[in-house]
Amino acid sequence: MIVEEVMSRDVITLSPQDKIESALKLLNEHHIRHIPITDEEDQVVGIVSDRDIRDAAPSILAAEQNLDILESPLQSIMSSPVITAHPLDFIEDIASLFYDYEIACVPVTHANKLIGVVTEKDILYTLIQVTGIREQSSQIEIRVPNKIGTLPKIAQIISDRNTNISSVFLYPSKEDQSERVIVLRVQTMNPMPIIDELKKQGYHVIWPNLPGMSE
C-alpha cells in the first residue's frame, strides 16, 4: 500500500509569519496535532506540533501567562527542515521514518508542493485494515524453516478446506534465526480442521496452543 492511499488531502496550513496563537487555535478547533508551515508557493518550510507550542509556552493555559509568546511568529518554534514523503512511497517506509526519527506526522509533497499529510494514526489504522482483524476470522501462527516454497504449500492446505486467507505476515523466529513464523488470519471462526491438517503434515503450529491441543 502506498502513501497516497492513506494520506489526508484536506490539510490545514499556516505561514512562517503567522502567530503561535493562530496555530494553537487551529489545533484545538480541528483536534489535530500538527500543522505544516508553507510559503507562498505551497512549499513546506516547517512543521509545528502541539508539543512545540507546549515547549515554547508550557503555561499557556494558566491565567494570563505567556501571552507575549503567543504573539511570536511560528518560524520561531517550527521544526525545519522537514522530513517529507512522496505519494508513491510505501507506508512501511513511512512507519520506519516515524520510528527512526521519533516523529508522528509527515507532509506529503509532489513537485515540491504540499498535497497531503500522513500521521501515525493513519498508519495504525492502515495496519488494522491490512491484518484483517476486523473481519470474522481466526489467527494461526506456524514456525517453519526458511525455505523456498513453504508458504504456497501452507496456502494450499487452507485452500483445500475452502477457506480464504485475509492476511499473511512473516517474522524471524526468536528461537531459531534460520526459521520464520508465518502469521495467517483465515476467514473462519473454527480453524481446528486447518490446524489439525497442518500438524498432520508436520508443521509446527505455535498458535493457537490451548490446553488439551496435541502438538
Which of 127, 155, 170 is the C-terminal boundary of a domain? 127
Q: What is the CATH number of the domain that holds 164?
A: 3.30.70.260
Q: Can you tell me whether residue 113 is helix, strand or coil?
A: strand
pLDDT digits (tens, 9 = 90+) for 23-70: 999 999 999 999 999 999 999 999 999 999 888 876 544 545 566 788
Tell me: do 42 and 118 sit in the same domain.
Answer: yes
Tell me: do 113 and 8 sit in the same domain.
Answer: yes
pLDDT higher than 60, residue 17: yes
Tell me: do 38 and 122 sit in the same domain.
Answer: yes
Tell me: do 173 and 94 sit in the same domain.
Answer: no
Question: Quick check: 188 and 159 in contact, CB under 8 A?
Answer: no
Query: Is 214 within the bounds of a domain?
Result: no
Rounded to 5 degrees, φ, ψ at 66 are: 65, 25
pLDDT digits (tens, 9 = 90+) for 127-154: 898 888 888 999 999 999 999 999 999 9
Predicted pLDDT at 133: 86
Number of domains in the chain: 2
Higher pLDDT, 22 or 56: 22
Which of 104, 127, 150 is the C-terminal boundary of a domain? 127
Tell me: do 69 and 19 sit in the same domain.
Answer: yes
Question: Quick check: 106 and 83 in contact, CB under 8 A?
Answer: yes
Count of other CB atoms within 10 angstroms of residue 8: 15
Read off the pLDDT of each residue in 70-94 and give the average, rounded to a whole number: 96
Cell digits of residue 178: 534460520
Question: Quick check: 206 and 213 in contact, CB under 8 A?
Answer: no
Question: CA–CA separation, 43 vs 54, rounded Å?
Answer: 25
Tell me: do 105 and 137 sit in the same domain.
Answer: no
Of 40-44, 90-94, 109-113, 210-214, the one with minimum mean pLDDT is 210-214
Question: Quick check: 135 and 189 in contact, CB under 8 A?
Answer: no
Question: Quick check: 85 and 91 in contact, CB under 8 A?
Answer: no
Question: CA–CA separation, 184 vs 159, rounded Å?
Answer: 13
Query: Is 215 within the bounds of a domain?
Result: no
Read off the pLDDT of each residue in 164-178 and give the average, rounded to a whole number: 93
Read off the pLDDT of each residue in 16-29 and give the average, rounded to a whole number: 95
Tell me: do 121 and 44 sit in the same domain.
Answer: yes
Q: Cα torsion at 22, 24, 26, 29 (round to 10°)? A: -130
Query: Is 212 within the bounds of a domain?
Result: no
pLDDT higher than 60, residue 188: yes
Q: What percent of the chain has pLDDT over 70?
A: 93
Question: CA–CA separation, 104 vs 97, rounded Å?
Answer: 9
Tell me: do 92 and 109 sit in the same domain.
Answer: yes
Element holding 76 (H helix, E strand):
none
Domain holding 196, by residue range, is: 133-207
Tell me: do 36 and 106 sit in the same domain.
Answer: yes
Predicted pLDDT at 58: 62
Predicted pLDDT at 132: 86
Tell me: do 109 and 137 sit in the same domain.
Answer: no
Which of 89, 107, 127 is the C-terminal boundary of a domain? 127
